[in-house]
């Protein structure tokens, strides 16, 4: 006998009365079930989670490398041996110390102005052993293995000195840094203090004296005395203009690096100057590293009230318009300036540079 046909398999969407009809209908391919669309808020939440994960990964990579590349504020406990006598409302205490790394603090225009000041002043001198210092307040300028007075060098060479207009950008940047320091650390009454200076480190010059060995670990309150807060503004790029030269903060044993900062143009590093922040500059391997050090104190007696007072007023033409005098090159006379001490007020110049001549500092 012929086998009976098997009854059709019931579909959940058919009833008993429609089995025959279901068998007679040609089968159609089922449409894929559409997934419900995510809402805008759901997509935003997912994107936020992804971005947070990426940021965490990048931050972890930066911490593992020990290099600070993003703006960051790290709070630290203040050293008990520093900041005495304490000035209420100004001197850091307890957990109020710390360090800030801030990219893009100075604009391209400000950087150009500061570089021009450094280049023009340092053209009159230059250290033999790598570092060159330019301190416009005291007038100290590195020349070979000693210091001369940059203002005397201008006078002796016949080169027009800095005018108030030339150094206006310098004064403005210092004011902005002081305001940032007070707001960051919640203090008031900070004063600019000495030394505040430009530093250039040349990687192609080996040290000639112990003063040229800038890479040793130090603490600013020990090194400079009056410092309460230290600011470093970088004017050159650690990946383009030079290699090496990172700023390294180390632990309280002065051994293990806690954080390394790669200099970038316009990057500012601001930190409390005590024993909570031992640090050093790694040796520059090639190129030239250029930076500006600005320091603040809570001690009114150590304050600099007009640190650019030696700049001359801008000359005026008829009708009151300012006139820029043509700058002459001092390349041919710098040797004579330092070697023969040509400035008429030698004792005053020696006094102005005496701190730089006597101290053993790791110039940053």
* Selection from 243, 210, 258, 221 nearest residue 67 by Cα: 258
Q: Which long-range contacts (CB under 8 A, 24 or more apart) does 69-75 make?
A: 69/262, 70/101, 70/103, 71/100, 71/101, 71/102, 71/103, 72/100, 72/101, 73/98, 73/99, 73/100, 73/184, 74/98, 74/99, 74/100, 74/259
Residues paired with 243 in a beta bridge: 286
Distance (Å, whole) CA 193 – CA 307: 9
168-185 vs 108-122: helix axis angle to the nearest 10? 120
Q: Is 289 a catalytic residue?
A: yes
Q: Which residue has the tokens 């909570």?
A: 276
Distance (Å, whole) CA 9 – CA 107: 78
Phi then psi for residue 351, to 5 deg, are -65, -40
Please pick, among 289, 310, 349, 364, the residue that the annotation labels catalytic.
Answer: 289
* Selection from 310, 306, 123, 291 nearest residue 198 by Cα: 291
Distance (Å, whole) CA 130 – CA 288: 9
Phi then psi for residue 274, to 5 deg, are -85, -165
Distance (Å, whole) CA 311 – CA 308: 6
Active site residues: 289
């Amino acid at each position: 006998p012929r086998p009976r046909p098997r009854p059709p398999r019931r579909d959940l969407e058919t009833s008993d009365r429609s089995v025959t009809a279901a068998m007679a209908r040609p089968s159609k391919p089922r449409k894929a079930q559409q997934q419900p669309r995510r809402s805008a808020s759901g997509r935003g939440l997912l994107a936020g989670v992804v971005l947070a994960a990426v940021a965490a990964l990048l931050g972890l990579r930066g911490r593992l490398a020990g290099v600070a590349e993003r703006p960051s504020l790290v709070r630290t406990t203040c050293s008990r041996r520093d900041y005495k006598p304490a000035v209420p409302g100004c001197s850091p205490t307890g957990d109020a110390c710390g360090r800030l790394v801030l990219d893009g603090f100075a604009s391209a225009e400000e950087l150009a102005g500061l570089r021009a000041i450094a280049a023009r002043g340092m053209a009159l001198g230059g250290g033999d052993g790598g570092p060159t210092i330019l301190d416009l307040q005291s007038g100290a300028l590195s020349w070979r293995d000693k210091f001369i007075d940059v203002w005397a060098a201008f006078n002796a060479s016949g080169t027009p000195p800095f005018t108030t207009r030339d150094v206006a950008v310098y004064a403005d940047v210092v004011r902005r840094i002081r305001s940032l320091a007070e707001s960051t650390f919640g203090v008031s009454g900070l004063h600019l203090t000495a030394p505040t200076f430009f530093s250039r480190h040349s990687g192609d010059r080996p040290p000639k004296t112990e003063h040229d060995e800038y890479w040793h670990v130090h603490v600013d309150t020990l090194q400079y005395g009056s410092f309460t807060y230290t600011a470093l503004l970088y004017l050159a790029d650690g990946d383009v203009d030079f290699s090496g030269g990172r700023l390294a903060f180390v632990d309280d044993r002065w051994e293990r690096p806690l954080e390394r900062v790669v200099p970038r143009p316009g990057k500012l590093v601001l930190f409390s100057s005590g024993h909570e922040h031992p640090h050093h500059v790694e040796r520059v391997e090639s190129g030239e590293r250029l930076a500006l050090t600005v320091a603040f104190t809570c001690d009114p007696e150590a304050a600099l009230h007009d640190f650019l007072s030696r700049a001359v007023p801008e000359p005026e033409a008829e009708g009151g318009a300012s006139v820029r005098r043509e700058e002459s090159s001092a390349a041919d006379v710098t040797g004579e300036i330092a070697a023969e001490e040509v400035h008429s007020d030698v004792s005053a110049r020696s006094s102005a540079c005496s701190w730089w001549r006597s101290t053993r500092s790791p110039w940053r």
